[in-house]
Structure 1
Amino acid sequence: MNQAITAIHIPEGKKVYFSSDNHLGAPTAEASKPREKKFIAWLSAIEADAAAIFLLGDLFDFWFEYKTVVPKGFVRVLGKLAQLRDKGIPIYFFVGNHDLWMKDYFKTELDIPVYHEPRIFDLNNKRFFIGHGDGLGPGDKGYKRMKKVFTSPFFQWLFRWVHPDIGVRVAQHLSVKNKLISGEDDQNFLGEENEWLATYAKRKLETAHYDYFIFGHRHLPMTIEVGKSSTYYNLGDWITHYTYGVFDGTSFELKEYSF
């Protein structure tokens, strides 16, 4: 992967936070509202010492940006993100398989950059490889084929011609019901040798060193040593586990939020 490495200096007493897989709006907007409020409470709790915040995708269970329309709802969490940015806290967003149709709304309205591929960050001289995790590693071939369709400009152009009231309803139904579309495989731990994101991390280490691989997508908090001085972390989710990652400038840790 040939790309510029973004360096972030973490001041003394500050931390970098990571979260993934909120799936706001699922299974219904009303049912997900308590989870949204809990996530906002977490954002408020980390506000004082956050040097940066990474959101690793599937913040929404479905998201599609028409030229002048975005999905209804999520006002509380969008407002909180705007507040954090207005206070000068950098936020980085990586699209997941449920919100991969995100374009420039976050950048334009919230000043939050949006990434569609994994990226490399240097945090206090520690090399981080960061992404949502969908479509990486071996297996999951059905979803990988489906992702090629969904990310094609022609398919997105066709979908944009569907009235939002119809298109969003159909997409939300498929997002919840169709596991091939959602890309959600077995959510049981497969073992260190069979977790495909761990396998992907090991392959990346053949060409370059990374201290940390940080992914979401699996909905399972996990820590796997993938090489000498190199660790893969999965952030879990905000549906069952309410887990997140925190880097204090020296070490990375998974934690569970409760309030």
Structure 2
Amino acid sequence: MIEIALASGKSLFFASDNHLGMPSLEQSHQRERLFVQWLEEIAPKAGALFLLGDLFDFWFEYKRVVPKGFVRVLGKLAQLRDQGLPIYFFVGNHDLWMGDYFEKELGIPVFYKPQEVSCAGKHFLIGHGDGLGPGDKGYKRMKKVFTNPFCKWLFRWLHPDIGVSLAQYLSVKNKLISGAEDVHFLGEDKEWLVQYCKRKQAQKHYDYFLFGHRHLPMTIDLGGGATYINTGDWIHYYTYAVFDGQKCQLMVRD
């Protein structure tokens, strides 16, 4: 359980699915600059920042190497942490090979599973959202392979120029990874994250469920005082969620 004491005038901020590096480093620089500007704008009023996965379109940590690029966002996150802002990072399906770089270099804890958060009397369940709920069996099988220690060890033997290029290609071309066929609202009965949240709500009450992964901003009343919010993405929608101590809602960056 993550417990946050929210100071007067402060809010929690949630964002996901920037996919920096996609479709190329050069083409993602504009989105990176916009996100850094947003981080600067929210800093004075942020009590904590939650990054809900897929900040990068691909991330793999070799023993002494990390992917090239992203210096603007990494530098800004480091600055915010140095200024005392709590930041929490949730691994997504594109950056699931995250190691200890964020924790050691930036002081940002990294989570691989959904976490419970308590703040201002409200209870949250927060994560990226991949592989949760019913269905999505193809991706679930593939994730087991990708996260297998032996498979990770084999990949690490590839030269980074080869490994990163191969992974970036697959990230775009493989629909199980990219989710390219899954960007439209499917209806509550077919939205597997909605089904997951309803099942969790039946076991324990949460006021808010916050996830990314779907690339589709949505707010759904689950009944019983619970709300599911998907934070959308920073590719098409530039949306994020804000909890001001009383309510949590989606916002769009101007």
Q: Flag the 1:135–1:183 CA change in 2: closer, same or farther, 3 A.
A: farther
How far did 1:193 drift?
2.1
Q: Is 1:105 aligned to residue 101 of structure 2?
A: yes
1:227 matched residue in structure 2: 223
2:22 matched residue in structure 1: 26
Q: CA offsets, 1:66-103, max 9 Å, x none?
A: 00000000000000000000100000000000000001
1:97 is paired with a residue whose SS is coil
RMSD: 0.8
In the alignment, the residues of structure 2 paired with residue 19 and residue 186 of structure 1 have an alpha-carbon distance, to the nearest angstrom, of 19
Greater shift, 13-22 or 190-199, is seen at 190-199
Q: Which runs of 4+ in 1 moved over 4 A?
A: none
Greater shift, 191-200 or 32-41, is seen at 191-200
Aligned AA (1:77):
V
Total equivalences in the alignment: 254
Aligned AA (1:201):
C
In the alignment, the residues of structure 2 paired with residue 42 and residue 163 of structure 1 have an alpha-carbon distance, to the nearest angstrom, of 35
In the alignment, the residues of structure 1 paired with residue 218 and residue 189 of structure 2 have an alpha-carbon distance, to the nearest angstrom, of 13
Contact 1:21 1:237 survives alignment (8 Å): yes
1:121 is paired with a residue whose SS is strand
Within-5 A mapping of 1:1-259: 5-258=1-254
In the alignment, the residues of structure 1 paired with residue 179 and residue 133 of structure 2 have an alpha-carbon distance, to the nearest angstrom, of 13
In the alignment, the residues of structure 1 paired with residue 43 and residue 209 of structure 2 have an alpha-carbon distance, to the nearest angstrom, of 24
Contact 1:101 1:151 survives alignment (8 Å): yes
In the alignment, the residues of structure 2 paired with residue 253 and residue 197 of structure 1 have an alpha-carbon distance, to the nearest angstrom, of 18
Aligned AA (2:245):
G
How far did 1:149 drift?
0.3
2:44 is paired with a residue whose SS is coil
TM-score in terms of structure 1 length? 0.97
Aligned AA (2:150):
F
In the alignment, the residues of structure 2 paired with residue 95 and residue 184 of structure 1 have an alpha-carbon distance, to the nearest angstrom, of 19
How far did 1:181 drift?
2.9
Contact 1:55 1:93 survives alignment (8 Å): yes
> Percent of pairs identical after alignment?
66
In the alignment, the residues of structure 2 paired with residue 166 and residue 66 of structure 1 have an alpha-carbon distance, to the nearest angstrom, of 13
Contact 1:91 1:113 survives alignment (8 Å): yes
Structure 2: which 5+ residue stretches go unaligned? none
How far did 1:139 drift?
1.0
1:205 is paired with a residue whose SS is helix
Structure 1: which 5+ residue stretches go unaligned? none
In the alignment, the residues of structure 2 paired with residue 29 and residue 162 of structure 1 have an alpha-carbon distance, to the nearest angstrom, of 21
TM-score in terms of structure 2 length? 0.99
How far did 1:227 drift?
2.4
Contact 1:223 1:232 survives alignment (8 Å): yes
How far did 1:13 drift?
0.4
In the alignment, the residues of structure 2 paired with residue 185 and residue 246 of structure 1 have an alpha-carbon distance, to the nearest angstrom, of 28
